[in-house]
Amino acid sequence: MLEDRWDMKKQAQHVRMGRPHQPAEQARYERLVTFVTPLHMKQLEELAMEHHGTLSSFFHRIIFNHLKDHSTKPLALKELMMQKIRNIALVMLSGMVALSVQAKDIVHDAEYYILEAQNGKVWAVEDGKLDKKIAELKEKYGRPPNLIHYMWDDQPVMSFGDPMYQQIRGYETPQLNKLADEGMLFSRMYTEPGCTPSRSASLTGQLAIRTGTWEIGFPIEYTGLAAENVTMAEVLSKAGYATGFFGKLHLGDTEESYPHNQGYDEAFWAIYNQVTSLYNNIGEGANAIIGLKDDLLADNPYHRDDTFIQGDAFVFYLEGKKGELANEWRNGSQELKDYKDFDLVARERALNFIKASAEAEKPFFVSWWPLWISFIADPQKKTLQRGMVGEDYQRIIEPDIEALRKTLDELGIAENTLIIAMADNGPMTHNPPAGAGLGEGMFRGGKGDFTEGGVRVPAAALWPGVIEPGQVVGDMIHQVDLFTTFARLAGATKYIPTDRIIDGIDQTELLMKGDTHGRRDYNFIYQGPALAATTKDHYKMHWVSKDPSQANSGITAVYDLYNDHREVNPVVVGGFHMKEPFKRMRARHELWKEKYPDRHHKRAPSYTGIANARPATKAISEPPAALKELPFDVNEFIEKLDDLPWTGDDNSGPGN
């Protein structure tokens, strides 16, 4: 493969000669000269941003040669320009080459172009073969592959696919283990560190910081995934896919965030997370929650405000179809039985959706994300662990996987269906409910943390006849990569938006060719709104730390994940040379964000667009008469929520 890599020596010769290193760069060279002639510095800066893929020394030589031909220009002005160009190019590229982003190309994070510049020629050859393979599969089956993303909460690496680990933890998952054995197990699948950011990243192909969905919400939050975001369901719908969502969404409680308003043809979803299993009389009676069910509490003579919590207005479960209003499932019943039944009904509906799509000979995309764990456990135990994790693997996930695979086999579509099964983030190791079984795995930390334990999860892919069975791959892959990979397989890449950064990288080659064929070697890890760590290959830089000798004081805090997977012994003297490369990497990332700024939360009244909304729910967006005489707009606070300070410290996570 070495002969297919960039000929860096030849490229360097072109740079020294002051001309583009490829014929395709000639037009861009001429355009640069046009801008330079009048010395329009601002235009030149903008052009440098636009054509961020040009070598820093290439910029230097082009401008220098052009100015030599215009020697009548004042030397001081020439030097000023040269310094300006050096600064721009150095920050953006640090001496590397990346390909220029064309007007209609997908815009990736800056680091991707560093990789593409060095591997692009090989990737282009691979892509040609992939296109041929995908076309052959489509011709064989008459349609592009069906795509199923099955994702559940809070699990560490090795929680399935590793019988020894499961024996240590006291439970078994034979169905999941079989799926992993017959497909591909990922040892470096990364996610965002919490539920809401993780689910947003999966649907949009963007880090949650870019969509303003980095904070985990609870009722009532007055926000959600904004309509301006483009989801995987919307992209695949344009390519002719039937799209269905079944399970826990946790992306807000505003109308525009509802999945049937975000591209899904059919949806049955839980608005919030597993804590709602406690929001009932059983939870209040057991002191598992406090102050929600007033009818069980002693009379409080000091109580004055009936609007503080508004628990009677909460909405937990909705169902809807594209173009229609949503409906509360079971007319708003929120008993423990409803919670326990939800995943069973989601299973039935997901399977029925798959059957209907297959009978209609239509490719389908299913997001099947079970609530999974109930914080009120069943009294009868099935596992040695007896924790909620082990028990609910048996109650929900194992039967789901078994029923799914049986259905695909019966329909005769298993070989034209890709299944991705994975957790959404690491385990809830900080203050979990009693008996949860949510302990740390081999990595340090858990949900909410920027250490590997918070963002590295178990994951497997199954595609009989396409993915070679029995594989364990060590390539880095991120959940955002599913967005671009699914689009590629579906022939829907042209529908991916090009006006924003898409963090997802096409990993089709990894799926089809296996270990060492990935296209990612980096990861930017945000904790809430702050960039907390950056990974490059198997090295990791902590940008925040409670260790006064490390990140906060500017000393290198780099970790070798092969030798220190728990990130407890930073390499200091031996890692000083890592500091500046990581800083350049971060600078490129943040400079690119200036051109494509992050979006902010979209605030709006909660629970609108529900056809059978209860009176208490309507009052959330339509204040009762008693509150209409206030000297201010009772709902004006909604716009103020984003101005409240973020209170997390350096090592705190965004929540559960």
Domain shared by 86 and 148, yes or no: no
Domain shared by 173 and 287, yes or no: yes
- Confidence category of residue 628, pLDDT binned at 50, 70, 90: confident
> Angle, nearest 10°, between helix axes 8-16 and 56-68?
20
Amino acid identity, position 331: N
Give residue 558's region: left, alpha or beta (phi > 0; psi -120 to 50).
beta
Residue-wise pLDDT tens digits, 379-405: 999 999 999 999 999 999 999 999 999
Alpha-carbon distance of 333 to 323, in angstroms, equals 25
Q: How many CB atoms within 10 Å of residue 632? A: 7
Q: Which backbone phi and psi does 343 adopt, to 5 degrees?
A: -65, -30
* 231 part of a folded domain: yes
Q: Which of these three, 77, 93, 109, is where a domain ends?
A: 93
Query: What pLDDT shows up at residue 71?
Result: 43
Alpha-carbon distance of 214 to 635, in angstroms, equals 23
Question: What's the CATH number where 307 sits?
Answer: 3.40.720.10
Query: For 623-639, what is the mean pLDDT?
Result: 75
* 244 part of a folded domain: yes
> Angle, nearest 10°, between helix axes 174-181 and 398-411?
50
> Could you tell me how far CA 234 lies from the centroid of its own chain?
16
* 132 part of a folded domain: no
Q: Which of these three, 501, 521, 541, is where a domain ends?
A: 521
- Confidence category of residue 625, pLDDT binned at 50, 70, 90: low
Query: What pLDDT shows up at residue 624?
Result: 66
Residue-wise pLDDT tens digits, 82-111: 555 545 444 444 333 333 444 479 999 999
* 111 part of a folded domain: no
CA angle 25–587–516, rounded 5-degree value: 70
- Confidence category of residue 587, pLDDT binned at 50, 70, 90: very high
- Confidence category of residue 630, pLDDT binned at 50, 70, 90: confident
Domain shared by 253 and 354, yes or no: yes
Q: At residue 240, does pLDDT exceed 90?
A: yes
Query: What pLDDT shows up at residue 59?
Result: 46
Its domain, for residue 35, covers 2-93
Query: For 334-355, what is the mean pLDDT?
Result: 97
Domain shared by 325 and 414, yes or no: yes
* 611 part of a folded domain: no
Amino acid identity, position 475: D
CA angle 473–479–485, rounded 5-degree value: 80
Q: Are 197 and 484 in contact (CB under 8 A)?
A: no
- 131, 200, 410, 455 from 142: Cα distances, Å: 16, 32, 18, 38
Residue-wise pLDDT tens digits, 459-470: 999 999 999 999
Domain shared by 25 and 149, yes or no: no
Contacts (Cβ under 8 Å, ≥6 apart) of 43 = 35
Alpha-carbon distance of 534 to 207, in angstroms, equals 13
Q: Which of these three, 33, 61, 93, is where a domain ends?
A: 93
Contacts (Cβ under 8 Å, ≥6 apart) of 232 = 202, 203, 204, 205, 263, 365, 367, 482, 483, 486, 487
Domain shared by 153 and 88, yes or no: no
- Confidence category of residue 481, pLDDT binned at 50, 70, 90: very high
Counting Cβ atoms within 10 Å, is residue 39 exposed (0-12), middle (13-18) or buried (19+)?
A: middle
Query: What pLDDT shows up at residue 439?
Result: 85
Domain shared by 156 and 289, yes or no: yes
- Confidence category of residue 6, pLDDT binned at 50, 70, 90: very low
Residue-wise pLDDT tens digits, 292-326: 999 999 999 999 998 889 899 999 999 999 999 99
Query: What pLDDT shows up at residue 583?
Result: 95
Query: What pLDDT shows up at residue 645?
Result: 73
The residue among 641, 464, 453 whose CA lies nearest residue 533 is 453
Query: What pLDDT shows up at residue 32?
Result: 40
CA angle 198–199–201, rounded 5-degree value: 65
The residue among 324, 149, 125 whose CA lies nearest residue 247 is 149
* 576 part of a folded domain: no
β 184-190/456-462 pair status: antiparallel
Domain shared by 227 and 318, yes or no: yes
Domain shared by 86 and 185, yes or no: no
Tokens found for residue 104? 């209609």
* 531 part of a folded domain: no
Alpha-carbon distance of 182 to 373, in angstroms, equals 26
* 543 part of a folded domain: no
Domain shared by 309 and 382, yes or no: yes
Alpha-carbon distance of 327 to 7, in angstroms, equals 60
Q: Which residue has the tokens 């004055």?
A: 304
Alpha-carbon distance of 74 to 594, in angstroms, equals 32
Q: Before 168, cis peptide (omega within 30)?
A: no
Contacts (Cβ under 8 Å, ≥6 apart) of 82 = 60, 63, 64, 67
Alpha-carbon distance of 35 to 66, in angstroms, equals 11
Domain shared by 330 and 452, yes or no: yes
Residue-wise pLDDT tens digits, 122-175: 999 999 999 999 999 999 999 999 999 999 999 999 999 999 999 999 999 999
Query: What pLDDT shows up at residue 31?
Result: 40
Domain shared by 319 and 384, yes or no: yes
Alpha-carbon distance of 548 to 4, in angstroms, equals 46
Give the count of domains, the chain: 2
Q: At residue 11, does pLDDT exceed 50?
A: no
3-state SS record for 473-501: ECCCEECCHHHHHHHHHHCCHHHCCCCCE
